[in-house]
């Protein structure tokens, strides 16, 4: 089942990069929680379908372009950690961003129940219980 979770995490990232709220939400549980660690929304938790929509809206108002770069995945069954990066271009400033990004996907019954984002790979590994 865990390989299916890696596939679901990959599909979620792809849906995110396409700004496809419906495809992204279809991969999540009704009580889904998203704790991003990205400029403009850091510290805020987005819950459920409404939260997903609000998060996508907040990104589109702050960023001209915002893209998750998939890296390697660590698969521990109900927890999947993706170590990659993010690339963006500020909407008002035009400032480019290229940073590390670690995402911890928590699964329940084959669906994404929570995503936690970290700008440091070691922090993501620790949060996912996979510290090296």
pLDDT digits (tens, 9 = 90+) for 64-108: 888 999 999 999 889 999 999 999 998 888 889 899 999 999 999
pLDDT tens per residue across span 46-66: 999 999 999 888 888 888 888
Bigger pLDDT: 56 or 113? 113
Tell whether pTM > 0.85: yes
pLDDT average, residue stretch 111-120: 95
- Average pLDDT score over the chain: 90
* C-alpha to C-alpha distance for 7 and 73, rounded to whole angstroms: 10
Strand ordering across the sheet containing 111-118: 46-47, 28-35, 111-118, 96-108, 79-90, 63-75
| CATH architecture observed for domain 2-127 | Roll (3.10)
How is the chain split into domains, by residue range? 2-127
SS3 state of residue 53:
helix
């Amino acid at each position: 089942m865990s390989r299916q979770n890696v596939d679901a995490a990959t599909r979620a990232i792809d849906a995110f990069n396409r700004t496809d709220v419906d495809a992204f939400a279809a991969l999540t549980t009704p009580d889904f929680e998203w704790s991003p660690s990205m400029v403009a929304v850091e510290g805020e938790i987005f819950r459920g379908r409404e939260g997903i929509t609000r998060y996508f809206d907040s990104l589109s108002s702050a960023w001209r372009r915002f893209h998750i770069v998939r890296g390697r995945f660590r698969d521990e069954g109900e927890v999947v950690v993706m170590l990659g990066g993010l690339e963006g271009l500020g909407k008002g400033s035009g400032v480019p961003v290229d940073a590390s990004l670690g995402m911890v996907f928590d699964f329940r019954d084959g669906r994404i129940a929570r995503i936690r984002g970290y700008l440091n790979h070691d922090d993501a590994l620790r949060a996912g219980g996979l510290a090296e």
